[in-house]
Every structure is written in structure tokens, then in C-alpha cells.
Structure 1
Amino acid sequence: MMAASCTQPVVVPENYFPAFKVEVLLHAPIQVYQTSEADLHIDLMMLCYQLDTICKQGLAKSPETKRASILRNSKATLVYNNIQQVLFKLLKSTNSGNIASFPIDSGLEELFPRVSAYMAGNEHLISSFKSPAVDEYFSQLSSMHHLLSLSKQIHEEVESQSRPKYLAHQLAILYQAIVNLPSGENVFSKHKKNLEENFPILKRHLAELPEEGESLSSEVREWVLDFTDSLMQGIRSMPSAMTRELLPLAMSFTSMS
């Protein structure tokens, strides 16, 4: 058996000097920046939504009892500690109120009832809370974004491709997106009717086209482009009938600021 060859170490470790110690911050920014009162409000809203999401996940795991113990959840504890730090900075900058009464005074109790219950030290969170404004806000916002993105995708494909492969399927999904819009369906009632009337014509036109070579007719192409363009303009105009779910959250944030 051959003996292992001995070589000099590449580096010889020196003695440890405490002055060279580097603290590792896993859940905090490396550099702390000067923040305004508005920045603190935004941080608070973001952290409250994070904690609210953790609460909802805990509730979803125990639907049979409609309760969820999350006080020992490490993620919830971490977010809660961050909320406390932001609240301390916020109240210090405004010289008003206290941490215990802030959820009620600021309106956070109505906006995030699950977070308010957690901050009050409740061991269990009841899942029968009335759906808070923040849930409706994100539901409506995501539906609007989905409708806008899908309209934009179809519009661009019809513009750039002679014969989009999945046009009929995409328009069917677009129709469902209009129907499933939490509010504002009436805003697009004409678009819905337009699609219901012209979709069979489109499918028949696509079925009559040969598998290769021939492109969409100019009439069909123009109809799709006009239809999707009108939808995009309607969403971007943000009509009041389509944004009523967004107002409570915006008003709460304004009152906090």
C-alpha cells in the first residue's frame, strides 16, 4: 500500500480576530435606508398581507374545525416581529397612538381581520371571518390583469402570424375570463355578446381553411384585432363599475397615510 504524499497546506489559518466578525442577517436588509412615513405604510401593508396569507394557509389545513393554530408557526412569528418593528418606527415618527390600538385606529382591523386577531394574541383564528376587502381587491385585480394579458397576447399573435394555431381556444378562454370577472361584467356585455355571435363564424372559417398555406381572411383578422383592442381600452380606462372592489383598500391606505 502506497503512503499518501505529504504536501504543504495552501493556507495556514491565523488566529481569529473579533474585529473581523460579520453578522449574517437572513431576514433583514443588509443596508438600512432612511424611510419616509409613506414608505413605512407600504411596508406595513406588505407585511400584513404576508401574515394574512400565512393565516389563510393555516385555516385551509383544518377546514373540518374551521380553526388553525399558527402562534407557533416560525414564518408567522418572523413576519409578526417585522410588523412590530415597522409599527414602532411609524408611531415614533408620528408621535401618536400605541401598537396595541393601532389596528383599530388605522382601520387595519377591518382590512386584515385575521392579522388583527393574530396581533391580539388569539390562539385560534376563526375562518368564518367576513371576506375582507383585501381578498376582493386581489381577486378583482388578478382577473383584470388576466383579461388584459390574454387580450394583448391574442392581438399580437393575430398581428404577427398569418394563422394563429390556437386562436379559437384562446378566444374561448377569453370569453370565460369576461364571464368570471368578479365585477364589471356589465361593462363588457357588448363584447360578450359580440363574441357569442361571431365565435361560431370564426370556428367555421378555421375549419374550412386547408391545414397549410392559407391564412385568416381579412374580415376575420380585422374583427379579432378590433375586438381585442376594444377590450384592452375598456380595461385600461378603469370604469367605476369594474373597480368597486379596489376602492376599500385604496381608501384604507389613504386614511392611514
Structure 2
Amino acid sequence: MASKTSILLIIRQNPGIKYNELLSKVRSKYSNLNSARAALSRALKELSSFGYVEKQDDSYFVTEKGNALINSETKSKLILKLNQLVARGNTADLDSIVKHLHTLIERSREDKELLKIAKGSIEFYLSDLEKIRNNVSNQIKHLNYLEEVLSSQIKTLKTLGFNDAKLVPFEKFLKILEKMPINTADEVIVQADDKFLDLLKEKIAGYAEKEGYVIKASETRRLAMIVKPYVENTKQQVVALLKNYTFRFSPNGVTIISSASLNF
């Protein structure tokens, strides 16, 4: 929906603009042509009644009163906001500062009157913007340094045997499982709700322990095939604890947890 101020701006930028041309410039802000025409007619009638625009034959012009309104709106909404943001000098406001400066620059290129107003109303200097840019540059350097340090620390933690985790699709998990150095003689502790454990007992031989239901590691693939439809239908998780790996099955896939390399 086009605001009255935006319509005033269009008329000021195009003195003597015809109704149909003005309609074409605001048409995209409405769902259909009839809505645009009705809204524009109402806005022009109101702007004319308050003395913000005048109609000469079939052309529209902004009056001095209309110019004063535009200047006031522009200063209050754009320039005052910029003054506040730059005065704070907070790099956390960088997105807003860049966005408002972009708006000011683009509008000023089209509207010389706005450029004049901005030059007289801006309460900061280019050096203030330069200070903010320098602060941002210093923060970037510091973040790059921290990134390098963190990367080194991650590598060190890997060598010290800290666990890592990786979520993979179920189909990829089956392929990874074939290459994993799992001792088939080892055991797997399966942790899940009672409903799944009862189902598993019917499918794979094992024995119950306090921690869960225990099966041979050689049955891990069969376990995965039983788990897949269950977690997809119930949205419940099933966890399989191996000697060097933990498999967490969920509807999103399988999370592999291990201190061993997960580069697969």
C-alpha cells in the first residue's frame, strides 16, 4: 500500500505528472488495478483537501505545504534514525546504519531537495562513519584470529579422544556401517521404549540388562532395518551403544557419536 508521503515524493520527483502515470507507479503495491485506482483517488483527494498537492488541468504538483510535509517526514524517519545510530557508534547497529545510508543515498540521487535537507540535518561527520568502519575492521581481525585458535583447539581435542557427532541419512548410514571397524563379536546395548524393546526381542536374540537390551554387534545392520520404520512412525529415538560408537536413530536420520574419525 502506497503511503501519502510516498505519493507526494513521486509527484515532487515528477512535477506535472498525469493521473495514469502516477497510477502506474503505485500499481505494484496493490493486489489489483481497481484497488490501486481507488486508493490513489482517495489519497489525492485527501492530499488536495489539506493543500499538499494541487491539480492544474490534468497534472499534479506538490505545494509548498506538501514540500514541508515531505521534508519533515524524511527528517523524522530517516535522518533522525541515522543520527541516533551513528551517535551510538555501536558496531551491532552496522546493518541498520548501512541500510539507512543506502536509502538516503539512493533517494538523494533522485531527489535533489532531499539531498539538500540531508546535508543540513545530518548531525555526524564522515569521520564518525570511518571510526565505525575501523571498529568493524578490528573486530573482523579479532574474529579471524579466534577462528584460527578455535580450529587448532578442535584438532587438539580430536587427538585427545573427545567425542564428535555427525548426522547422516539412513541410507548413507548403512553404507558407512559396512566400512566401520566394528568387531562383530562385541555386543550392542539398545536403549529405547518398552514397545520397541519388546519388538526387538521377537526379531533378534539377546538378553536384557539394566542399561537396555543386549545383542551381538554382528546384528547391527538388522537392528537398523528394524529401527528405521519404527522411529519414522512413532517419532521416538532409539540408541545403540557399541564399544567405540554410539548410534542415535531418529526420524531425521542417524547421529553417529564417537571419538574415532567421522570423516566419511
Pairwise TM-score range, normalised by the shorter structure:
under 0.3
TM-score, L = length of structure 1: 0.26
Larger Rg: 2
TM-score under structure 2 length normalisation = 0.25
- Say which structure is richer in strand: 2
